[in-house]
Amino acid sequence: MLISGILVFFLFLGPLVFFHELGHFLFARLCGVRVETFSIGFGPKLFKWKRGDTVYAFSAIPLGGYVKMFGDDPLSKDELSEEDKKVAYTHKSKWQRFWIVFGGPLANFVMAFVLYFFLAVDGEKVPEPKLGVIKADSKFHSLGLRTGDVLKRLNDKKIYNFDDVNIADSQISKILVGRGGEEVELETQISTENFQSNLLTSVTQLKAPIYVDANGDSFLIEKEGGVVVSIEELSNLKGGDTITIQKIESDVSKLGVWDPENTPLKLSSSKSATLDENADEVNEALRTLGYYPRELMVNKVTTDSAAKEAGIKAGDIIVGFDNAEVSSFIDFKNMVQDLKEPKEISLSVLNSKGLRTVELTPKETVYNEKKVLLVGIESGIIGFGKMIEFQADGIFSGLSIALKRTVDGTVNVVGMFKKLIFGEVSVNNLGGPIAIGKAANDYFDLGLSMFLRLMALISINLAVINLFPIPVLDGGHIVFILFELVNGGPLSRKKLLYAQQFGMSLLFLLIFVAVFNDIKRFLL
């Protein structure tokens, strides 16, 4: 498993590094600069060959790469002949040097665009945009939307998956949904921003009816010879009904979304049980039998969170909040937000060792310019719905979709780094090579399209990070070039040396934080 995981990581990282360095290489050659080395990886060269003036190499530390150009050291005191100046990087025009430097990030943007285009044209499996539980007092309910509706069209734009909800129109006047095998058109009047906000905060995910016990095992419910696979079927169960509880042998932790038709689960042992006649609803009846909705199981605990400090671990089941039972994860989140300000709460936590009480104080943070309280746990919820084939209508449609996804991805990445800089998001969210490797392996298990989607997103991340105005990064070099344009000449040797030392220190600090977070998150 370890070896295969490492191979997947390199399969993921290799193309990202290669295309970034290829961007620098191609623009350097285009501008007449002699490229001395093109290396994937750092450190000692494991394999190398020379073609023309360039040594191509695979080096020992495969966590990046570099392109070494002749005359690229602005601090060098070596005198160059007139012939050498023609192929030296530092003797090229400002705009030529700009394109050579910008070529790396540009290649990563282009790579993301090409991957998104390939996915759109070739087709990919995506979860259908099915709405989860819509409460009677919610904004969506007043618009006519109901639990289980599948979004088909907003105004005149087709909706294939939830990524498409980010439409250009400022107002939504028509919503077409699929409901009960028919299409229903709703006349509405809501701003796109308000619609998106309600989708994120008010509509809970449509959940697969999967349950867990204190040991962390997962189960399905069977009634009259058929497995219960929908909320509607689940709600039809009542007190006094005899059910069969089927243990799931398949690993459901990486399902994300369960499509019963296309993803059958392997079932093993089963046992019969009778639902409590006094229970108000099925989840309450199953709770008396020792089974809880899987969404109440902790999937992950955030580093440096209140939950982490209180000793809550992945696999724990949150069953109580102060003196109240917790019936769903959305109820738990609402209970936390209802506190209004940080104060100590008592959680009832269940696992294989039994039931225990945990005292903790949620931490206050800012999300979308609003103060929110966070406990720091991620739900083990598994979505429910069909995986549908999404394919662009043609080449031009594919180009449009790819451009939109690339631009949206860039805006989202820049927004996240902005929140990091201004303290709206903790630096504990930074991830290093272990985090990237884990994500790559998780998405690889979900299929090629999901793997390529993640590769496109990380390619955008790599482009944006390299454009940071930090000396030694591409963005820092671009700032120096812009300074030359404005100032009429380069920085002095002394100032340039200080800038490079500052840049290296800042870069090493960022790397240290990311790697430290990896160690805390995955190894401790």
Give the DSSP per-residue string, 390-431.
E--SSHHHHHHHHHHHHHHHHHHHHHHHHHHHTTSS-GGG--
Cα four-point dihedral sign 75, 76, 80, 86: negative
Residue 239 near residue 275, CB atoms below 8 Å:
yes
Residue of 397, 362, 392 whose CA lies nearest to 376? 362
The residues pairing with 176 across neighbouring beta strands, listed in sequence order, are 153, 185
Rg (alpha carbons) of the chain, rounded to whole number: 27
Annotation says 21 is catalytic: yes
H-run or E-run covering 459: helix 448-466
In the three-class reduction of DSSP (H, G, I as helix; E, B as strand; rest coil), residue 12 is classed as: helix
In the three-class reduction of DSSP (H, G, I as helix; E, B as strand; rest coil), residue 38 is classed as: strand
**How many CB atoms within 10 Å of residue 327?**
17
H-run or E-run covering 363: strand 363-367
Catalytic residue among 21, 124, 128, 295: 21
Q: What's the one-letter identity of residue 515?
A: V
Whole-number Å distance between alpha carbons of 188 and 419: 33
Residue 244 near residue 225, CB atoms below 8 Å:
no
Residue 518 near residue 303, CB atoms below 8 Å:
no
φ/ψ of 69, rounded to 5, equals -105, 150
φ/ψ of 320, rounded to 5, equals -150, 150
Residue 2 near residue 20, CB atoms below 8 Å:
no
Dihedral, CA atoms, 110, 116, 121, 122, nearest 10 degrees? Answer: 110
Residue with tokens 């720091």: 376
Instruction: Report the length, in residues, of the chain.
Output: 524
The residues pairing with 347 across neighbouring beta strands, listed in sequence order, are 321, 358
Where are the extended beta strands (E) located within 121-181? 124-127, 150-154, 157-158, 171-179
The residues pairing with 66 across neighbouring beta strands, listed in sequence order, are 39
Whole-number Å distance between alpha carbons of 228 and 210: 9
Q: What's the one-letter identity of residue 141?
A: H
Whole-number Å distance between alpha carbons of 417 and 432: 15
Residues whose CB falls within 8 Å of the CB of residue 458, separated by 6 or more in sequence, listed in order: 12, 16, 436
Residues whose CB falls within 8 Å of the CB of residue 66, separated by 6 or more in sequence, listed in order: 21, 37, 39, 42
- What distance lies between CA 30 and its chain's CA centroid? 36
Active-site residue set? 21
